[in-house]
A and B are shown apart, each in its own frame.
Chain A
Amino acid sequence: MSTIPAELRFAESHEWARQEGDLIVVGISDHAQEALGDVVFVELPEVGKVFAAAGDQAGVVESVKAASDIYSPVAGEVVEVNEALADGPEALNEAPYDSWIFKVKPANAADLGKLLDAAGYKALIGE
């Protein structure tokens, strides 16, 4: 099993979140990509989309097998999306912690702290 980066925070729905200046960068965990299988398409949120609450639907990751919703780990507004995933969605499989999906300007900067830390996420997925 791969190591879970200690600097990341996690939602129970398997997104990771990382502080970057005043933004929060979001991707999916290694555990999530492994469960999904080969990712072939990512439906990105639109820049400007507002998440009223943590857990709002933010996009869709489609593997060969199935479509899975992804959720924003925090409330806030989408300010940037990773357009490179359009041509290379497999990056989510190959380097899940280096492949971000969207960046959100959080409504409340303290919300990141409400997410699971690496140890908590590790316990959640039973590793």
Chain B
Amino acid sequence: MGQRTPLFDLHLALGAKLVDFGGWDMPLHYGSQVEEHHQVRRDCGIFDVSHMHVLDVSGSQAKPWLQHLLANDVGRLQQTGQALYSAMLDTHGGIVDDMIVYQTDEGYRLVVNAATGDKDLAWMNANLAGYDVRIKHRSELAMLAIQGPNARQKIGELVNQERTALIHTLRPFEGQQEGEWFIARTGYTGEDGLEIILPATEACAFFNDMVGAGISPIGLGARDTLRLEAGMNLYGQEIDEQVSPLTSNMAWTVAWMPEDRTFIGRAALEAERVRGITSKLVGLVLEERGVLRAHQVVRIAEVGEGEITSGSFSPTLSKSIALARVPMATADRAEVEIRGKWYPVRVVRPAFVRHGKALI
């Protein structure tokens, strides 16, 4: 039996089909993954993402410590509520995890992946020496994502006045505390929406209120096709300790300035830049019928070979799409081997759908 979030029994009552995700028993879907996907793109839906870990960092040296620990620079955050996306690297420049960092009144709030929580904490603790920093793992909190064009409007109708006001004034990628709740305008779907971190004891009632108001629960299956359409990386698929952010469509998250900020992995990334970046993440679109899948081989004429990192059927585009790591030179066309046959694919920038609209 895997780990369970506080909403486990509620998922079962709602008819969830379960899947193991990083050691957690999570809802895969509640009936139809494709319907749930459309629901989020066209209206809104709720996800239980309580398997992700919330880490609160405080202490007089929280800022310099995170500037050492992360490839992005928390020095860019100017005030409570601002957030950034960052990789946490090892000394070889490999990605230990990716996360969102919010500035809070007490320091910083980190939201890291489910399967990597123990590893992350071990890495953080191993690099803590000499810093006046405290890390608090907030396992008593639950996390719900409400995503879709109508998400903020509908949630605004279900919560108290203060929270409604906050929901309507939050800027994209901003997160603020309101009472016991932390409400952020972030997500993993390519749609507008919220992520709410709240006491586990309140999560079931709130989830129930949302379902009662006609908002559909959405499983991890649709979460995966939504993030794939949005071209977002999934730890363990596109990124892991074997790859650097420079080959992972994450160069924009590496803060090179100021030059004297010696974050972990910096030397390795600088050496990689000098040697030359050899590969990149691209999007693939299969024009014929079929489904692209992770680990299928990509062949680009006169350039070389690559590999699909995530592939599935795109419900929005009604065709198969994938993310793939290919040689830097790449091309507009490639071929993918599916069960021994080569299929032509179009190579595109790795973002297929945003705010309900096709980008390709």
Residues of A near any B CB (own CB < 8 A) = 37-38, 40-41, 43, 60, 62, 64-67, 86, 93
With A38-B32, A38-B34 in contact, do A64 and B315 touch (Cβ < 8 Å)?
Answer: yes
With A62-B291, A67-B291, A67-B293 in contact, do A37 and B313 touch (Cβ < 8 Å)?
Answer: no
B275 within 8 A of A: no
- In the bound complex, residues from chain A placing their C-beta under 8 Å from that of B28 are 37, 65
Q: Which residue of A lies closest to B17 (CB)?
A: A37
Contact residue among B17, B290, B320 (Cβ-Cβ distance under 8 Å from A43)? B290
- In the bound complex, residues from chain B placing their C-beta under 8 Å from that of A43 are 290, 339
Cβ–Cβ contact B289 & A41, under 8 A? yes
Q: Which residue of B lies closest to A89 (CB)?
A: B289
Cβ–Cβ contact A86 & B289, under 8 A? yes
Taking the closest CB of chain B, its distance from the CB of A57, in whole angstroms, is: 10
B176 within 8 A of A: no
Expressed in whole angstroms, the Cα–Cα distance for A93 and B34 within the complex equals 12
Residues of B near any A CB (own CB < 8 A) = 17, 28-29, 32-34, 221, 225, 289-291, 293, 312-313, 315, 320, 339
Expressed in whole angstroms, the Cα–Cα distance for A38 and B221 within the complex equals 11
With A37-B29, A38-B33, A38-B34 in contact, do A64 and B313 touch (Cβ < 8 Å)?
Answer: yes
Cβ–Cβ contact A41 & B291, under 8 A? yes
**Besides A37-B17, A41-B291, A93-B32, 6 new A-B residue pairs in contact (Cβ under 8 A), listed by A number:** A40-B320, A43-B339, A64-B33, A65-B221, A66-B293, A67-B293
- In the bound complex, residues from chain B placing their C-beta under 8 Å from that of A86 are 289
- In the bound complex, residues from chain A placing their C-beta under 8 Å from that of B34 are 38, 40, 64
Taking the closest CB of chain B, its distance from the CB of A46, in whole angstroms, is: 12
Cβ–Cβ contact A60 & B221, under 8 A? no
Cβ–Cβ contact A65 & B33, under 8 A? yes
Q: Which residue of A lies closest to B289 (CB)?
A: A41
Supply 29 A–B pairs (Cβ within 8 Å), ascending by A. A37-B17, A37-B28, A37-B29, A37-B32, A37-B33, A37-B221, A38-B32, A38-B33, A38-B34, A40-B34, A40-B291, A40-B313, A41-B313, A41-B320, A43-B290, A43-B339, A60-B339, A62-B290, A62-B291, A62-B313, A64-B34, A64-B221, A64-B312, A64-B315, A65-B33, A65-B221, A66-B293, A67-B293, A86-B289
Taking the closest CB of chain B, its distance from the CB of A69, in whole angstroms, is: 10
- In the bound complex, residues from chain B placing their C-beta under 8 Å from that of A62 are 290-291, 313
Expressed in whole angstroms, the Cα–Cα distance for A32 and B221 within the complex equals 18
Cβ–Cβ contact B290 & A41, under 8 A? yes
- In the bound complex, residues from chain A placing their C-beta under 8 Å from that of B32 are 37-38, 93
Taking the closest CB of chain B, its distance from the CB of A31, in whole angstroms, is: 13
Taking the closest CB of chain B, its distance from the CB of A59, in whole angstroms, is: 10
Expressed in whole angstroms, the Cα–Cα distance for A41 and B311 within the complex equals 14
- In the bound complex, residues from chain A placing their C-beta under 8 Å from that of B33 are 37-38, 64-65
- In the bound complex, residues from chain A placing their C-beta under 8 Å from that of B291 are 40-41, 62, 67
Taking the closest CB of chain B, its distance from the CB of A74, in whole angstroms, is: 23
Q: Which residue of A lies closest to B36 (CB)?
A: A38
Q: Which residue of A lies closest to B318 (CB)?
A: A40
Contact residue among B17, B225, B290, B339 (Cβ-Cβ distance under 8 Å from A64)? B225
- In the bound complex, residues from chain B placing their C-beta under 8 Å from that of A60 are 339
Taking the closest CB of chain B, its distance from the CB of A123, in whole angstroms, is: 22
Expressed in whole angstroms, the Cα–Cα distance for A38 and B32 within the complex equals 6
Expressed in whole angstroms, the Cα–Cα distance for A93 and B29 within the complex equals 15
Q: Which residue of B lies closest to A40 (CB)?
A: B313
Q: Which residue of B lies closest to A62 (CB)?
A: B291
- In the bound complex, residues from chain B placing their C-beta under 8 Å from that of A40 are 34, 291, 313, 320
